[in-house]
Chains A and B, each alone.
Chain A
């Protein structure tokens, strides 16, 4: 079964607001990654956080990781209409294991 589960499945906010998406996973991991997918396109990597990290920033993105709860959150601050997309978390366990994705959160930012 899929490793990650995003929450909520869909989120609609006004431009300028912050968007928070959550990801829960089942087993121990080496790192957790967030990806973005624009409609009809391939996924694009946003940010990677390792299991020994608790928080990471990249521009308007802030990712947290709580390994004790097996959960992560992605915060997009001051959202823009161009942030409208689906967002996926993916987990990497170790060694030769493949990257496993969740079901994604569809974010709609209304101008």
Chain B
């Protein structure tokens, strides 16, 4: 039983490069989320999806895009990375009914 899996675990990326963070869940959850975590700022919502085929913007969506082609996968793309996108990124999923969310182990991204 995997739950929710993120890849890669960590990455060092040159500024200006494109990067896709992967997230896969095997719980058939409708809702999926991407958060970034920065020291002192807690978890901030980047984008979310309530069901396959739909996405929504969170608190800090600029510079990021997502897609939800199917139930299991919710990739996050940085089209042209900037140093301010250095952060730890967490993917999460839930049933979409307001019940508990399950988190991946996170991706530590450093943009230099």
Contact = CB atoms under 8 A, between A and B. Distances in A.
A49 B58 CA distance: 24
A48 B97 CA distance: 13
Contacts of A45: 100-102
Interface residues of B, number: 27
Interface in B1-59: 31, 33, 35, 40-45, 48, 50, 56, 58-59
Given A42-B103, A98-B33, A103 B59 contact: no
Given A48-B100, A88-B42, A101-B35, A1 B90 contact: no
Nearest to A48: B100
* A-B interface, 10 closest residue pairs, ranked by CB to CB distance from nearest: A103-B42, A42-B103, A45-B100, A92-B98, A101-B43, A98-B48, A96-B50, A43-B103, A104-B42, A42-B105
Given A41-B106, A42-B104, 8 more contacts: A2-B44, A31-B98, A33-B100, A35-B101, A90-B101, A96-B56, A99-B94, A99-B101
Interface of A: 1-2, 30-31, 33, 35, 40-45, 48, 88, 90, 92, 94, 96, 98-104
23 contacts: A2-B42, A2-B44, A33-B100, A35-B101, A42-B92, A42-B103, A43-B90, A43-B92, A45-B101, A90-B101, A92-B98, A96-B56, A98-B31, A98-B45, A98-B58, A99-B94, A99-B98, A99-B101, A100-B45, A100-B59, A101-B44, A101-B45, A103-B41
